[in-house]
Amino acid sequence: MKRRRLFVTVLLFVLASIVLAACQKKPQYTCTDPKGCVEIKPGEPIRVGAALVFSGGAASYGIDSKRGIEIAIDDLGGELLGHPIELVAEDSQCNPEGGQAAAQKLAADKTIVGVIGTTCSSAAKNAAPILSEAGIVMISPSNTAPYLTDPATRSPFYFRTAHNDKVQGKVAAEFAYNELGVRKAATIHDGSVYAEQLANVFAEVFKQLGGEVVAQEAVNVGDTDMRPVLTTIAAKGPEIIYFPIFNPEGPLIAAQSKEVEGLQDVKLMGADGLFSKEFIEVAGEAAVGVYLSSPDFSAFNPERYDAFLKKHEEKYGEKPISAFHAHAYDAMMILAEAIKKAAVVLEDGTIYIPRTALRDAVAETKDFQGITGNLTCDENGDCADPHIAVYQITSATEWDTTDPEKSPVKIWPK
């Protein structure tokens, strides 16, 4: 009898233990996403990659964007869904090889949820397909080349908060033809997808307006003597040279054009790839009078942008150094909202982020009130609220994009 009672007692204890264990067992989640899920356990960070340029002549663009991301993370309180946000930065440089290396490194890290980048369109050429294959959402704050969101060539996990150069090239051509009144133009690109496609858009629209494109030339990244190309262009008699390239080649074109017979009075126009203080530092007095197209800072949300600028100066001790800091801020905020929408949160604090679901959540972005405007992603990944202005450099020493009275000065649209 005692043995039977003991047996029953042990049996009940075992059954109770099984039931208790079942009740205490952590809830399970089965990932069915075709690209997999990122699992983030309690206390672990949500890791976001930044593939931006941090070296060479274009470094200021990447630093400018990274600061925008960091301020966004600060505004999120440094955390998301109860997990700290960790930024993992890689130098994508400003070329296909750098973009490929940065993307491969980030794609190999299975904890990376999404990537803000790249800076340059040429780096995205190789980076976007690699990250898309890995199922990692990529939102660029400054890629502008049209082919990146062309339905025939777009990588499916690619988005951008920067404008499409179909917009910028059109604005530049209309300004040259309608505002400056020039009828003969020459273009120079540097072989990058950004510069070549932007120069082509400018030329196409300029011709549609009735102008003549007398020369379409190219230099190489790394060239320092621009005089041979400039001499060839001078023989064609242009009234304006449009050169949407990067530092340091761009300011060298501006400086050396003053040395070429027939070009001393020709108007010079660049694009957002030259919109940084480095341009005047290299070009010197030759920079004065040069026109640059860029995002229109006066079209940004004034209250939010003013608050951003105050935080920027407090955090970094200076004003923004290039054009796409606010676009990077908006890219990080869009990614954060998409993570909140796509994440599966378990009772113990573990979260799963299905990669395809995250991509879809970014794609569904609509009427997002960002610093740069009201952002809605179209079916091809263009999410920007594009407003392009033309600025003119009026000082060889002053660079302040936050004061409308200081150089560079916005001159169009008025």
What is the rounded distance in angstroms from the CA atom of residue 302 to the CA atom of residue 30? 45
What is the rounded distance in angstroms from the CA atom of residue 257 to the CA atom of residue 241? 10
Read off the pLDDT of residues 90-141 as tens digits, 9 standing for 90 and up.
999 999 999 999 999 999 999 999 999 999 999 999 999 999 999 999 999 9
pTM across the whole model: 0.91
Sorted by where each begins, the domain ranges of the chain are: 37-162+324-383, 166-296+389-412
Q: Evaluate whether 194 touches 53 at the Cβ level (below 8 Å).
A: no
Question: Domain 166-296+389-412's class?
Answer: alpha beta
pLDDT given for residue 21 in this prediction: 43
Q: Is the pLDDT of residue 236 over 50?
A: yes
Beta bridge partners of 382: 160
Read off the pLDDT of residues 309-321 as tens digits, 9 standing for 90 and up.
999 999 999 999 9
Asked if the domains at 37-162+324-383 and 166-296+389-412 fall in one CATH topology, the answer is: yes
Read off the pLDDT of residues 360-370 as tens digits, 9 standing for 90 and up.
999 999 999 99
pLDDT given for residue 5 in this prediction: 55
pLDDT given for residue 14 in this prediction: 41
Q: What is the mean pLDDT of the segment spanning 10-37?
A: 63
**Token digits for 94?**
């400003």
Single-letter amino acid code for the residue at 54: F
Beta bridge partners of 37: 354
Long-range contacts at 261-264 (CB < 8 A, ≥ 24 apart): 261/234, 262/234, 262/235, 262/237, 263/230, 263/233, 263/234
What rounded mean pLDDT belongs to the chain? 94
Cα separations in angstroms, 88 against 46, 111, 296:
10, 11, 30
Read off the pLDDT of residues 320-329 as tens digits, 9 standing for 90 and up.
999 999 999 9
- Percent pLDDT > 90 in the chain is 93
Torsion angles phi and psi, residue 188, rounded to 5: -135, 130
pLDDT given for residue 28 in this prediction: 83
Q: Evaluate whether 187 touches 215 at the Cβ level (below 8 Å).
A: yes
pLDDT given for residue 15 in this prediction: 45
User: According to CATH, what is the number of the domain 37-162+324-383?
Assistant: 3.40.50.2300
What is the rounded distance in angstroms from the CA atom of residue 48 to the CA atom of residue 253? 38
- Burial class of residue 20, CB neighbours in 10 A (0-12, 13-18, 19+): exposed
Q: Is the pLDDT of residue 9 over 60?
A: no
Alpha helices in 93-226 (DSSP H): 96-108, 121-133, 165-174, 193-208
What is the rounded distance in angstroms from the CA atom of residue 118 to the CA atom of residue 62? 8
Read off the pLDDT of residues 371-384 as tens digits, 9 standing for 90 and up.
999 999 999 999 99
